[in-house]
Amino acid sequence: MRRDNLTDRTRHFERALENLKNKIQHYLQDTLFVIDKTMNALKTGEENVIREVEDFDDVMDETHRQIENACFDIITRFHPLAEDLRLVVTAMKLSSDLERIGDMCVNIAQSARHISRKLTGFVLEDIFEKMVNTTIGMLQGIVEAYFKMDTEQALEIWKRDDVVDDLYLLGREKLLEMAAKETNITRARILLEETFILRYFERIADHVTNIAEEIYYMKTGKDVKKLLRPSDS
């Protein structure tokens, strides 16, 4: 009887972990969906697309709450240890990062609402394109890394954050300098709005970097920052 109870408990525990993994995988896919919608909003400035991004944020928030609840339930019911505990803790952190990426997407879409009818292209188009493409590439790559549990790919994505940071600092400096010299108020506001958009993409890259760290920790139990940047720890 005791052995049967232990077997049932193990089966329920494994099912709960599998359900949690599935929720995270769906959440990652939802994040790719909303970033695609966000780019569409940014390119077209169409109000219906902007509202889709805003509305989908409620879906992202609800999924985040479900994952948090599932994690707390697993911890209180099954008291996981070692790698299983890392999986649950990582899921909570990862979910929080995905929820924040959703928030950044809303910010970008709302900025698109402010500038879409006043601007046909970005002032710093080359910097903007490189930064956005790098950030979206990081996000797409981290989804793949999670599905494959590929720590090497996670490390490579983690390293790309420096590229985004450098592009952001360069773009921000140029845009703020141009805004300070601009005599047309509407034009100055557009330049500042573009600065905000760059900042939002930089924050998305930061959250992707966090997810890379979380994947690495989940599989190895090691801290990427201590491994690659011991002086910063």
> Is 232 inside a domain boundary?
no
Burial code (b: 16+ CB inside 10 Å, e: under 16) for 105-118 equals: bbbbbbbbbbbbee
SS (H, E, C) the chain: CHHHHHHHHHHHHHHHHHHHHHHHHHHHHHHHHHHHHHHHHHHHCCHHHHHHHHHHHHHHHHHHHHHHHHHHHHHHHHCCCHHHHHHHHHHHHHHHHHHHHHHHHHHHHHHHHHHCCCCCCCCCHHHHHHHHHHHHHHHHHHHHHHHHCCHHHHHHHHHCHHHHHHHHHHHHHHHHHHHHHCCCHHHHHHHHHHHHHHHHHHHHHHHHHHHHHHHHHHHHCCCHHHHHCHHHC
pLDDT tens digits, 115-163: 864 445 678 889 999 999 999 999 999 999 999 999 999 999 999 999 9
> In the prediction, which pLDDT does 108 show?
96
Domain of 74 in residue numbering reads as 2-225
230 located within any domain: no
Task: Flag whether 233 is in a domain.
Answer: no
Residue 124: per-residue pLDDT? 85
On average, the pLDDT of the chain sits at: 91
49 located within any domain: yes
Low-confidence stretches of the chain (pLDDT beneath 70): 1-6, 116-121, 229-233
State which amino acid sits at residue 33.
F
> Is 201 contained in some domain?
yes
Name the percent of the chain lying above pLDDT 70: 93
Domain tally, the chain? 1
Cα-based angle 38, 41, 47 (whole degrees, multiple of 5): 130
- CATH number for the domain harbouring residue 206: 1.20.58.220
Give the helix/strand (H/E) hosting 223: none
Specify the pLDDT at position 8. 82
Q: Strand runs (DSSP E) across the chain, as ranges? A: none
Is position 177 within any domain? yes
Q: Is 118 helix (H, G, I), strand (E, B) or coil?
A: coil
Chain centre distance of CA 67: 16
d(CA 105, CA 101): 6
Amino acid 122: pLDDT: 79
